[in-house]
Amino acid sequence: MAQIHELSETLTNQIAAGEVIERPASVVKELVENAIDAGSTRIRIDFVDAGLKQIIVQDNGSGIASDQIDLAFTRHATSKINNEHDLFNVATLGFRGEALASIAAVAHVDILTSTKGDIGTHASFSGGVKKSQEEASARKGTQVIVKDLFYNTPARLKYLRSPRTEIMKIVDIVNRIALGYPQISITLANNGRVLLRTAGNGNLQQTVANVYGRHIAEKMLPFKKADNDFEVSGLLSKPELTRSTRNFISILLNGRYIRNFKLASAVMDGYGSRLAAKHYPVAVIAIHVDPLLVDVNVHPTKREVRLSKEKALSRLITSAVSEALVNNIEQQSDAFSNIANNQDTLVDQLKFNLNKDVVNTKRASDDAEVHEAAAEKVSTAEPRKKGSTKYVDLNTPREDDRYILTKTWDENVVKQEQLMPFSDSKANAEIISSGDETLANNLPELTFIGQTDTYILADNKSDLFLVDQVAARRRLAFAKIVKMISNKKITQQGLLSPIVLEFGNLDFIQIKAKLDDIKKIGIFLDDFGHNTFIMRSYPTWIKGDVEGSVRGILDSYLNLDHGDFASLFKRIAAKQAKREISGRTKLSAAECGEILNDLRKSSDPYHDAEGNLIIVRIRQNELRKMFKKDE
């Protein structure tokens, strides 16, 4: 058996540093949290080469006294707790006394600090050992410079990701801290370029605009709710503004950013069915609670906490989010329509639910003619006896094909089973109804015969075709846009006034990394500084609101998973077609005829790009049956 021995102080410090300092973002987090605990109102973070070469964090907090420097860089030395009671009543971000010691164990560290703002202290540490300490002129506050991170533990470097990923990790953690402390002015710069600057005026929506961009901040809804133990407040995005991951849900417990799957799920539960699958909101959830109900000492980096009454908090969050969304819908309704007040609406709904005839399957005597004719035929064939039920038996086959079982049911099933399956080579064959075998073939030649406000009427061999003009135009626009996007040389239209697009720092970094892919669809963006791009021309396949269209397209790139650009281009074309064809319009006979002819050439003339039905065919024998021509 190998002999047991005590580890050296240098080795124990490096092991401890491995728990706390995982990457450059960990250094930034620990130093910024120390600055906040020191009562700072202004904090600036500068880093070089993804933080591996240099990280500087400067604040205007209380500073460190010269005789406290050595203790500040000693493990488990802290000014924030004194006894066991304090450990379960932590009101600060840091309390374990490991940050400075862990950082100094794996880097070169210089600290310049002053408690009064005149004469301060400058000290240097390397590999956990103090190299020097002297008096120096300094403003009130502390400046910590970390150089050559992991210089003495090179094995750690191989676990780091690409420089861009490490930069995004730093930006992400500073964003969360800024959202948790809107009353503190925070500036973040990479290689001298400012990535984030907050005003520090306590306005959360303005801070969201600094972090995510004004475009997103304008679509955020405020909320606030409390019970006996918790108070939740913050901002959440409207359902139309989503991201492809939960990463844009920030849960801040007494200002501390935490990861908690149950609380994030509670936010999603508040949205209910308002969000599409795999789409997540942008949300800032600030939770205020008595520190006695929280155990923050369960994770070395304090990213996870243990909460008392977590289920009650989840219910409170879900309720607060749901109420905020409902209130937003009500405000929109009040703005655009005059509706009876909610109390009257609820009374009407209650009357409807209590109506004993609400599920009556009998046709009303004053229904449309086709209903009358069907009812008349039933009554003639089967005279109703006095006292017989007025309800229709849905299990009895009927002649009129308007109920669940019909006499032609088995015959139709046999026909459908004999249909050939659709070819997998049709890229745009989203969903095709299986009730008509002609859908497996091309659309027959149609003759225009008239139109209503919504539908184009056409016929072929006495069969009647109803064509939804909006869906048809969107299908044709979609095909045209896909063809233009696929063109290697996309025609550009110059802008008289260039468009400047502002984004949040994380979105800016991600879009900048995909600029080459974005150029493939004809959108050319140039870095304009301060998390903005400038666009001087746009592809001619974009119609109408150019800026709105481009923002929607770039959102699609931000939500892209696994680099599936082929399907992304089709989704972009589908959204653009929907934006371009926003509603019905009066068409001439020639335009209707052209739409019918172009549909015949479409890969799927029966559905638009979103799967909505374009054409309904009514056969001649069905028309004859409606008008009782076969009796």
- pLDDT digits 0-9 by tens, 106-142: 999 999 999 988 889 999 999 889 999 999 999 999 9
Residue 548: HSE in the Cβ half-sphere, 13 Å Cα cutoff: 8
Selected residue with higher pLDDT from 530 and 191:
191
Listed in order, the ranges of the chain carrying CATH 3.30.1370.100 are 447-616
- pLDDT at position 373 over 50: no
Give CA–CA dist 524/490, Å, rounded: 11
Listed in order, the ranges of the chain carrying CATH 3.30.230.10 are 219-328
Give CA–CA dist 271/250, Å, rounded: 16
User: Is the distance from CB of 242 to CB of 233 less than 8 angstroms?
Assistant: no
| 321 confidence band (pLDDT: 50, 70, 90) | very high
- pLDDT digits 0-9 by tens, 592-604: 999 999 998 888 8
Q: Does domain 447-616 have CATH number 3.30.1370.100?
A: yes
Give CA–CA dist 238/245, Å, rounded: 16
Q: What is the mean pLDDT of residues 301-327?
A: 89
What string of DSSP letters covers 415-466? HHHHSPPPPTT-TT-----SS-GGGGSPPPP-EEEEE-SSEEEEEETTEEEE
- pLDDT at position 424 over 50: no
| 441 confidence band (pLDDT: 50, 70, 90) | very low
- pLDDT at position 414 over 90: no
- pLDDT digits 0-9 by tens, 49-68: 999 999 999 999 999 999 99
Mean pLDDT of the chain: 80
pLDDT at 556: 82
Q: Which residues is 121 bridged to in the sheet?
A: 113, 135
| 90 confidence band (pLDDT: 50, 70, 90) | low
pLDDT at 182: 95
Q: What is the mean pLDDT of residues 352-362?
A: 45
Q: Which residues is 193 bridged to in the sheet?
A: 190
| 21 confidence band (pLDDT: 50, 70, 90) | confident
pLDDT at 486: 83
Q: Does domain 219-328 have CATH number 3.60.9.10?
A: no
Give CA–CA dist 352/359, Å, rounded: 11
pLDDT at 238: 92
- pLDDT at position 510 over 70: yes
- Cα-trace Rg, the chain: 33
Enumerate residues 6+ apart whose C-beta is below 8 A from 228.
Answer: none
- pLDDT at position 350 over 80: no
Buried (b) or exposed (e) across 445-459, using 16+ Cβ within 10 A? ebebeebeeebbbbb
pLDDT at 335: 52
pLDDT at 130: 92
- Lowest mean pLDDT across 207-221, 329-343, 527-541: 329-343
Give CA–CA dist 99/34, Å, rounded: 8
- pLDDT at position 429 over 60: no
Listed in order, the ranges of the chain carrying CATH 3.30.565.10 are 9-197
| 369 confidence band (pLDDT: 50, 70, 90) | very low
pLDDT at 83: 61
- pLDDT at position 368 over 50: no
Give CA–CA dist 70/100, Å, rounded: 10
pLDDT at 558: 81
pLDDT at 402: 47
Phi and psi torsions of 194, nearest 5°: -75, 125
| 564 confidence band (pLDDT: 50, 70, 90) | low
Q: What is the mean pLDDT of residues 366-378?
A: 45
- pLDDT at position 353 over 60: no
- pLDDT at position 403 over 60: no
HEC per residue, 599-617: HHCCCCCCECCCCCECEEE
- pLDDT at position 278 over 90: no
Give CA–CA dist 533/563, Å, rounded: 22
Helical segments of 246-354, H only: 261-271, 310-336, 342-354
For 324, the 3-state DSSP assignment is helix
- pLDDT digits 0-9 by tens, 196-225: 999 999 999 999 999 999 889 999 999 999
How far, CA to CA in Å, does 190 sit from each of 179, 199, 578?
Answer: 20, 19, 40
User: Is the distance from CB of 281 to CB of 242 less than 8 angstroms?
Assistant: yes
Selected residue with higher pLDDT from 336 and 41:
41
Q: Which residues is 125 bridged to in the sheet?
A: 109, 130
| Number of neighbouring beta carbons within 10 Å of residue 252 | 19
pLDDT at 60: 94
- pLDDT at position 376 over 80: no
What string of DSSP letters covers 128-193? TEEEEEEEEE--SEEEEEEESTTTT-GGGGGG---HHHHHHHHHHHHHHHHHH-TTSEEEEEETTE
Residues of the chain with pLDDT > 90: what percent?
Answer: 40
Residue type, 378: V
Give CA–CA dist 591/589, Å, rounded: 5
Instruction: Please name the fold of domain 9-197.
Output: Heat Shock Protein 90 (3.30.565)
- pLDDT at position 361 over 50: no
Q: Which residues is 467 bridged to in the sheet?
A: 456, 615
